[in-house]
Structure 1
């Protein structure tokens, strides 16, 4: 993989980020339901910050921070962290294109999120579909602590509520 650069996500990036997301969706089924407006899905109201991973100018990954109250099991995470829900920041929309996997892109994006000013004073949390897949393995390998798991608040297109797990950042 060429040199990796993590940069703040700009509005001008959104079309290219949506193209990268399309590759992930076609390969992995993430997001479960393709959004009507991918750019809006990638930059929802209330987002705290966002970053892209670039390799030779090509977007190969993305991550953003949202208010921690938007994370599955936010109350349980806040209790486990010993903070009010307003002191949580949630990792969201983290993905890496299939061609860039295995090059520590996701780990680099998470490291950038951990160091961001938007996170200062907040405990970093995330939720993930608890399917035993690569995302779960990534968070656990990086030392994230699983706090709770159970049915998600949302449903897949087939009406099933998938199992979700919620994690606290190790730092």
Structure 2
């Protein structure tokens, strides 16, 4: 893997981020349903900041920080963190392109979010489809604490509510 740069995402990155997301979707089915407007999906209401991983100018990963009120199992997360929902920030839209995996890019993106000033002292939380896959293993290896799990508030393309797990950042 060439030298990696984690940079704040700008509007000029969005076309390349959408292309990276398309690669992830075609490889892994994330997101489960391809959005009608991928740029809007990457800029949801309540987003606080976003970062890209660049290798030789190519977008190979992405992560964003959002208001936590849309995270699954948010009440359980707030209780575990001993704070209100406004005391939390959600990690969202984290993905790494298939060819760039195994290079610790996801870990680097998470570290960047953990160190960002836009976090403003809020405790980080996230939710993930609870399929015992690579994302679940990554969060647990990095020390994130599983707080809750259960059916999602949304349905997948098959009409079924997948099981999700909610995690609290250890720091």
TM-score (norm 2): 0.99
**Are 1:40 and 2:40 an aligned pair?**
yes
Q: For 2:132 and 2:76, locate their aligned partners in 1 and report how far apart those are by CA, in whole Å.
A: 21
SS of corresponding position for 1:52: strand
Look up the SS of the partner of 1:137 in the other structure.
Answer: helix
Q: Any idea what the Cα deviations from partners look like across 1:86-136, whole Å, max 9, x if unmatched? A: 111000000000000000000000000000112122110000000000000
- Structure 1 residue aligned with 2:167: 167
Give unmatched runs, 5+ long, in structure 2.
none
Following superposition, which runs of at least 4 residues in structure 1 exceed 6 angstroms of deviation?
none
Does the residue aligned with 1:112 lie in a helix, a strand or coil?
Answer: helix
Alpha-carbon distance in structure 2 between the residues aligned to 1:146 and 1:119: 21
Question: d(CA) in 2 for partners of 1:56 and 1:11?
Answer: 19
Gaps of 5+ in 1: none
- Which residue of structure 1 aligns with residue 62 of structure 2? 62
Partner of 1:50: 50
Displacement of 1:46 after TM fit? Answer: 1.6
Q: How many residues align?
A: 171
SS of the residue 1:161 aligns to:
coil
Distance across 1 between alignment mates of 2:120 and 2:2? 31
- Could you tell me how far 1:69 is from its partner in structure 2? 1.0
Give the distance between the partners of 2:71 and 2:12, measured in 1 at CA: 27
Tell me, in whole angstroms, the C-alpha distance in 2 between the residues paired with 1:120 and 1:143.
21
